[in-house]
């Protein structure tokens, strides 16, 4: 499905996201009593969920249990604008994460989360093809099982929402070089191929 979004509508959506994605609901005294990583995660958790499970439709990715080093790398990409996402640029900026120590603290907290919320999957109609395509076209970079890696830092695709994987492959939103590589592959595979890979990955076990 092609999204059509005017500049004004996009601005309104971003403004709404900034209002919704706040750490509301926890009093100041309660916040101060939390460990640093948990306190910093309050803003993140409003969108990503208490368990880091994201949203099943893929509008917000699952991040709970991902390796801390990979999360730090992603946050630094957002902070430096190497990776483009207005919400994440806002919530990873120095007003929210003051320095490298705070980035590391929130990353460590997220890495310790254990996801319990449901994963958004596809319709299950093309899983064999999805597994084969992933092995032949994606596994050399993402691991045979879509698993996470501490070194080189790599977040798991296994157990990620299918809708999020489809969106990242077709629309970009990652670093410019990665976006070119993934959108080119998505065009080659077509919509059904991308959906099959995403469905396959969404049904694999998420990070432990």
Q: How much of the chain, in percent, has pLDDT values that exceed 70? A: 86
What confidence tens digit (pLDDT) does each residue in 108-157 have? 999 999 999 999 999 999 999 999 999 999 999 999 999 998 788 889 99
Partners of 60 in the β-ladder:
none
What confidence tens digit (pLDDT) does each residue in 161-171 have? 999 999 999 98
- Is 1 a domain residue? no
Kindly state the tokens that stand for 121.
């999957």
- Is 136 a domain residue? yes
Helix (H), strand (E) counts: the chain: 10, 0
- Is 208 a domain residue? no
How much is the pLDDT for 115?
96
Residue 119's domain comprises: 7-202
State the total domains in the chain. Answer: 1
- Is 92 a domain residue? yes
- Is 117 a domain residue? yes
Distance CA 148, CA 94 (A): 27
């Amino acid at each position: 499905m092609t999204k059509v979004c005017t500049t004004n509508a996009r601005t309104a959506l971003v403004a709404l996201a900034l209002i919704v994605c706040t750490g509301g609901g926890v009093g100041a005294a309660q916040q101060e009593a939390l460990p640093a990583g948990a306190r910093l995660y309050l803003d993140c958790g409003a969108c990503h969920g208490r368990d880091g499970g994201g949203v099943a439709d893929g509008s917000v990715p699952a991040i709970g249990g991902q390796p801390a080093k990979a999360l730090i790398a992603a946050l630094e990409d957002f902070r430096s604008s190497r990776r483009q996402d207005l919400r994440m640029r806002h919530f990873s900026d120095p007003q929210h994460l003051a320095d490298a120590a705070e980035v590391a603290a929130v990353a460590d907290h997220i890495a310790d989360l254990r996801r319990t919320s449901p994963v958004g999957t596809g319709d299950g109609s093309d899983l064999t093809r999805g597994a084969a395509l992933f092995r032949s076209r994606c596994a050399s970079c993402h691991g045979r099982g879509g698993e996470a890696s501490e070194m080189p830092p790599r977040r798991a695709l296994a157990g990620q929402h299918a809708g999020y994987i489809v969106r990242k492959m077709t629309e970009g939103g990652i670093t410019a070089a990665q976006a070119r590589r993934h959108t080119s592959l998505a065009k080659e595979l077509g919509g059904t191929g991308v959906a099959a890979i995403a469905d396959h990955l969404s049904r694999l076990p998420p990070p432990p």
